[in-house]
Amino acid sequence: MEAKEVILKAMKKEGVPLNAGKITELTGLDRKVVDKTMEQLKKEGAIISPKRCFWQPK
């Protein structure tokens, strides 16, 4: 599974906005991979930030 899919799946499963540290913890992905992938997801509009540093699927 691609990193984007893993991150979005973890976000949907938790059901609450998550920060990058929590996503790293839940997915087991490297923090750099999480940061880079989240940047791509932000640009694509797939995730939104309801509060500073926390993200959820759109």
Q: Does residue 51 belong to any structural domain of this protein?
A: no
User: Global pTM?
Assistant: 0.88
Which are the contacts of 56, defined by CB distance < 8 A and separation ≥ 6? Answer: 11, 16, 17, 18, 47, 48, 49, 50
Distance of CA 31 to the CA centre of its chain: 11
Q: Does residue 55 belong to any structural domain of this protein?
A: no
**pLDDT tens per residue, range 7-27:** 999 999 999 999 999 999 999
Q: Does residue 19 belong to any structural domain of this protein?
A: yes
Three-state secondary-structure class, residue 47:
strand
**pLDDT tens per residue, range 28-57:** 999 999 999 999 999 999 999 999 999 999
Domain count, the chain: 1
User: Cβ distance 42 to 6 under 8 Å?
Assistant: no
Q: Does residue 49 belong to any structural domain of this protein?
A: no
Q: Does residue 10 belong to any structural domain of this protein?
A: yes
Q: Does residue 57 belong to any structural domain of this protein?
A: no
